Chains A and B, each alone.
Chain A
Amino acid sequence: MSPVDRDELFELAQLELLGALDDPDLSRLEALRRRAPAALLAEVLDLQAALAADDDLLPDVNPDAALRSRVLAGIADAAELRRRDGLTPLASLGEVPRGELSSDRLGTQPGSLGARRTRFDNAEEAVSASLLSAARESNTDALVARWRFSAVFWRAASVALGASLLVVMLANYSLTNRVSHISELALGASTRADLVQFTGPALTQQLQGESIIRGMVAPSGNNAAGMVIKSPLAQSGLLVAIKLPKRSIYDIVVRSGADSWTIHSGYAPTDSIDSIALNFGNAVLGPGSRIEVVDRETGAVALTAEI
């Protein structure tokens, strides 16, 4: 085995930290890492840490003290939704252009910020309560009331209503039924009619139009499957992943010809049936366009579909 090119390893490691590497270079870096001796790897870790911590390369600014409470509240909200729905990671919804955000979004409007500050005077307590409480409330009104104040909810609200309704309806199915039905849809020749039949008449109206619904397959040999739905009205949609290996982190990429867009970075599924709202952003869909769920570490495509 040829020795590792130290200079190349160091160069790519630096560029990785800047988020500048494309897929081929990331694969190359991983290959170099696998072959590098432990001592050299330790040097790489030190190099990256030193570059990351380089104080002089960042502006000398301080966040507002209230941001800490806001961040902890955001995590508390995400944890609460995770606990209630089992539809993780709703907290990691795709990027939403600012113009689409609700004015009630936490901290972006004085009124909402004030309300949240009151609620989270003791941020650790709020987070702890959300994360550690095992009690589940069955009161739908209370749930709705909390969601209305949730930053995460308002991000979800920017997703097409049809997709949101699907999430809620999926949540109401038993795990067995969901696996069975979604697998059929995902692995078979999914059509809008299939989905409407599966989800019932309440969704029929919402899905009228040109919603794109595609089953996703796993070309890399794992047992995962999935389904992607794109709203006809906006660059938003929903991806449902089934049995996607949980120990990996994924990027969701749209490819069209020679162009590609990473529409979500760092997707980490935590359930056998996992869902994530999508924002297709500037991705241009056309004949031959594909959506892929790519394992960030290996570069392998875990799920793919034409869309």
Chain B
Amino acid sequence: MTLDISTADRLLMQSVARGDAAAIGRMYDQFGRFVYRQAMQVLPTRAEAEDAVQDIFVQLWQTAAVYDADKSRLISWVALMTRRLLIDRLRAARSRPRLQSIASFDVQGGDWGPAAANANTDDFEQSPLRRRIRALPASQRAVLESVYLEGKSIRETSEALGIPSGTVKSALSRGLETMRKGFSRESLA
């Protein structure tokens, strides 16, 4: 019997909430890399990303009982929890993610270390994600970097860029859509 996604999500999180160790392991297997990649997107070092991943999974375990499969898919729930905790970390540390991180993923073949941390600007400029962002209109590019890579809120971005929050929202939505379409076209080519 194949469970639909919603039922499978609900059953998994119910098991996690009950303290089923195997279910907790499955939760990590299902989302561990996903959470780690999000952490590496915005945090400056691998050690910090790993710390964050541990905290995020503890939080997921603690809040598993309130997960509502009717309100969100599990992957969306995990993504949202992850983003919020990462943004909290960024704000608490007053740190900015290094944009070089994007380039480092490419030049290091997925590895991360001191060399990757020192990836030069040329590599950064040539990374696929950066190329997509750079190809966006200037207004969308600035907004996307602020929200998506730096973890700022709409209001913070609006204040920082001196543009209305409505403009930030629409520019962000259009930018994301453009990037996703761009990736899709590139992958098909």
Interface size class of A (residues with CB under 8 A): 35 or more
| Residues 14-28 of chain A, each 1 if its beta carbon lies under 8 Å from chain B, else 0 | 111111111001000
In the complex with contacts A48-B73, A54-B180, A281-B92, A62-B33 CB distance below 8 A: yes
Stretch of B21-29, B117-125, B134-142 on the interface side: B21-29
| Residue on A nearest B86 in the bound complex, by CB | A19
**Contact with B47, one of A59, A60, A97, A108 (Cβ below 8 angstroms):** A108
| B13 in contact (CB, < 8 A) | no
Which A residues are in CB contact (< 8 Å) with B73? 45-46, 48-49, 52
Complex contact B72–A45 (CB within 8 A): yes
B21 touching A132 by the CB < 8 A rule? yes
Contact of A67 among B25, B50, B84 (CB under 8 A): B50
A136 at the B interface (CB under 8 A): no
What string of 1s and 0s marks CB contacts (under 8 Å) between A44-77 and chain B? 0110110111101111111110011011101100
Return B103 CB to nearest CB of chain A, in Å: 10
Q: When A25-B154, A57-B180 are in contact, do A63 and B88 touch as well, CB less than 8 Å?
A: no
B76 near A264: Cβ-Cβ < 8 Å: no
Min distance, Cβ A219 to any Cβ of chain B, angstroms: 23
B149 CB to nearest chain A CB (Å): 10
**A108/B62 in contact, CB under 8 A:** no
Interface residues of A in 220-278 (CB under 8 A from B): 247-249, 261-266, 268, 270
- Per the bound structure, the CA–CA distance linking A259 and B95 in Å amounts to 18
- Cβ of B85 and Cβ of A59 under 8 Å apart? no
The answer to whether A185 has its CB under 8 Å from any CB of chain B is: no
B61 touches A264 (CB 8 A): no
The reply to whether the CB of A124 lies closer than 8 angstroms to some CB of chain B is yes
Chain B residues within an 8 Å CB radius of A54: 180, 183
Q: Are A151 and B36 touching (Cβ within 8 A)?
A: no
Question: Is the CB–CB distance between A61 and B37 below 8 Å?
Answer: yes
User: In the assembled complex, which residues on chain A have CB atoms less than 8 Å from the CB atom of B87?
Assistant: 19, 265
A contact residues around B154 at 8 Å (CB)? 15, 20-22, 25
Q: A25-B154, A281-B91 are in contact. Are A63 and B62 (CB under 8 A)?
A: no
**B51 touching A19, Cβ below 8 Å:** no
Q: Is there a chain A Cβ closer than 8 Å to B75's Cβ?
A: yes
- B12 within 8 Å of A (CB atoms): no
Residues of B close to A70: CB separation below 8 A:
50, 54
Residue pair B147, A18 in contact (C-beta under 8 Å): yes
Query: In the complex, which residues 148-181 of chain A have their Cβ closer than 8 Å to any Cβ of chain B?
Result: 151-152
The complex places the Cα of A51 from the Cα of B180 at a distance, in Å, of 9
Expressed in whole angstroms, the Cα–Cα distance for A227 and B141 within the complex equals 44
Q: Which residues of B contact A15 (CB under 8 A)?
A: 147, 154, 169, 172-173
A67 to B94, CA, bound (A): 26
Taken together as a complex, chains A and B put the C-alpha atoms of A263 and B81 apart, in Å, by: 15
Q: Which residues of A contact B34 (CB under 8 A)?
A: 58
* Closest A residue, CB atoms, query B61: A75
Q: Is A282 an interface residue (CB 8 A)?
A: yes
A205 vs B156: C-alpha distance in the bound complex, in angstroms? Answer: 42
For B54, the closest partner residue in chain A by CB is A74
What is the minimal beta-carbon distance from A186 to any residue of chain B, in angstroms?
23
Q: How far is the CA of A92 from the CA of B88 in the complex (A)?
A: 13
A182 at the interface (CB under 8 A from B): no
**In the complex, what residues of A have CB within 8 A of residue B180's CB?**
51, 54, 56-57
Which residues does chain A contribute within 8 Å of B58, judged by CB atoms? 74-75, 78, 91-92, 152
Contact of B167 with A by CB under 8 A: no
In the assembled complex, which residues on chain B have CB atoms less than 8 Å from the CB atom of A108?
47, 51
A132 close to B129 (CB less than 8 A):
no
Query: Contact string, B29-70, partner A, CB cutoff 8 A, digits 1/0?
Result: 100111011101100000110110111011101110110000
**Known contacts A20-B153, A75-B58, A108-B47; is A127 also within 8 Å of B33 by CB?**
no
> Is the beta-carbon distance between B32 and A127 smaller than 8 angstroms?
no
Closest CB in chain A relative to B97 CB, distance in Å:
11
Residue with the highest number of chain A CB atoms closer than 10 Å, among B55, B152, B169: B55
6 pairs from A and B in contact (CB 8 Å cutoff): A25-B169, A56-B179, A108-B51, A124-B22, A132-B19, A282-B91
Residues on A facing B (Cβ under 8 Å): 10-12, 14-22, 25, 33, 45-46, 48-49, 51-54, 56-64, 67-68, 70-72, 74-75, 78-79, 88-89, 91-92, 95, 97-98, 105-108, 123-125, 127-128, 131-132, 151-152, 247-249, 261-266, 268, 270, 279, 281-282
Known contacts A11-B173, A15-B172, A71-B57, then 19 further A-B pairs from the complex at CB < 8 Å, ordered by chain A residue? A11-B169, A17-B76, A18-B148, A53-B75, A56-B183, A61-B40, A64-B50, A67-B50, A72-B21, A72-B24, A74-B57, A74-B58, A131-B20, A247-B66, A249-B66, A263-B88, A265-B87, A268-B66, A282-B91
